[in-house]
Amino acid sequence: SQTIHQWPATLVQPVGSPLSLECTVEGTSNPNLYWYRQAAGRGLQLLFYSVGIGQISSEVPQNLSASRPQDRQFILSSKKLLLSDSGFYLCAWSAIPGHREGKRTQYFGAGTRLSVL
Amino acid sequence: AQSVAQPEDQVNVAEGNPLTVKCTYSVSGNPYLFWYVQYPNRGLQFLLKYITGDNLVKGSYGFEAEFNKSQTSFHLKKPSALVSDSALYFCAVRDPDSSYKLIFGSGTRLLVRP
């Protein structure tokens, strides 16, 4: 079965420090991968998605970047954190269209609570 | 524009009573619809989805949802609520303009009173 791992679970970082959040998926190959941010425990904002190694699409201009160095690894980064980067970050995966698990169902990791102070 | 609406910020129900969490959508083409649940400080868990076929979809934890094409709705239901059902619920629809993305509603907080 497929599993998604996301770490760390919580992170407290000072303003101006770098960030690296990691997400890995097991039990599937060539997944679509997503990074979301959830502010104030409510709505989800899609930040990045990736359909393959090295292929990153950014949804909104921001202080963050994403990379996909391996098929099942997705990293969210920042060179200098801002206060406004605080939030709950969620990684998700879905099967590629046409795969038997397709139809766009996304499966989420447990999330990382980031506090920038 | 493609969109999903969850008109209620919060739904309150007594344990043992039936519950409904509302969702309406506006998308072109055939909708793929989803419900997710989120417990505090956790990721979203997939509950159920409608792709095609029977309008009544059954999912995890005793939840079901009814697809109504004429009303463009996909309400989540459960015959008998549990206190442990208290959580944040998200409706989502496939973005027809993308092969990969879902459009999420703003979420509805369900509070089940003992």
* pLDDT tens digits along B65-90: 999 999 999 999 999 999 999 999 99
Distance in Å, alpha carbon of A42 to nearest chain B alpha carbon: 6
CB contacts, 8 Å: B44 with chain A: 44, 90, 92, 108
pLDDT at A102 over 60: no
**Which one of B36, B51, B100 has the shortest CB-CB distance to A49?**
B100
Tokens of B14: 């007594």
What value does the mean pLDDT of chain B take?
94
pLDDT-above-70 percentage for chain B: 99
User: How far apart, in whole angstroms, are the C-alpha atoms of residue A109 and residue B82?
Assistant: 25
Hey, what's the torsion of the CAs at A79, A81, A87, A91, to 10 degrees? 0
Which of the four pLDDT bands, split at 50, 70 and 90, describes residue A65? very high
User: How far apart, in whole angstroms, are the C-alpha atoms of residue A48 and residue A65?
Assistant: 8
Report the candidate in B57, B9, B52 with the shortest Cα–Cα distance to residue B30: B52
Distant-in-sequence contacts of A7-10, Cβ < 8 A, 24+ apart: A7/A112, A8/A112, A9/A110, A9/A111, A9/A112, A9/A113, A10/A112, A10/A113, A10/A114, A10/A115
User: How far apart, in whole angstroms, are the C-alpha atoms of residue A53 and residue A68?
Assistant: 5
pLDDT digits (tens, 9 = 90+) for A24-37: 999 988 899 999 99
Which of the four pLDDT bands, split at 50, 70 and 90, describes residue B105? very high
Three-state secondary structure of A88-100? EEEEEEECCCCCC
Interacting residues of B7 by C-beta distance below 8 A, sequence separation 6+: B22, B24
| Residue contact A44–B100, C-beta within 8 A | no
Q: Nearest chain B residue to A102 by CA: give it.
A: B100
Specify the residue for token string 């009573």. B17
Percentages helix, strand, coil for chain A (3-state, rounded to 5) are 5, 55, 45
Interface of B with A (CB under 8 A): 32, 34, 36, 40-46, 49, 51, 88, 90, 94, 99-102, 104, 106-107
Instruction: Check residues A41 and A23 and name the one with the higher pLDDT.
Output: A23
Interacting residues of A26 by C-beta distance below 8 A, sequence separation 6+: A2, A3, A4, A5, A72
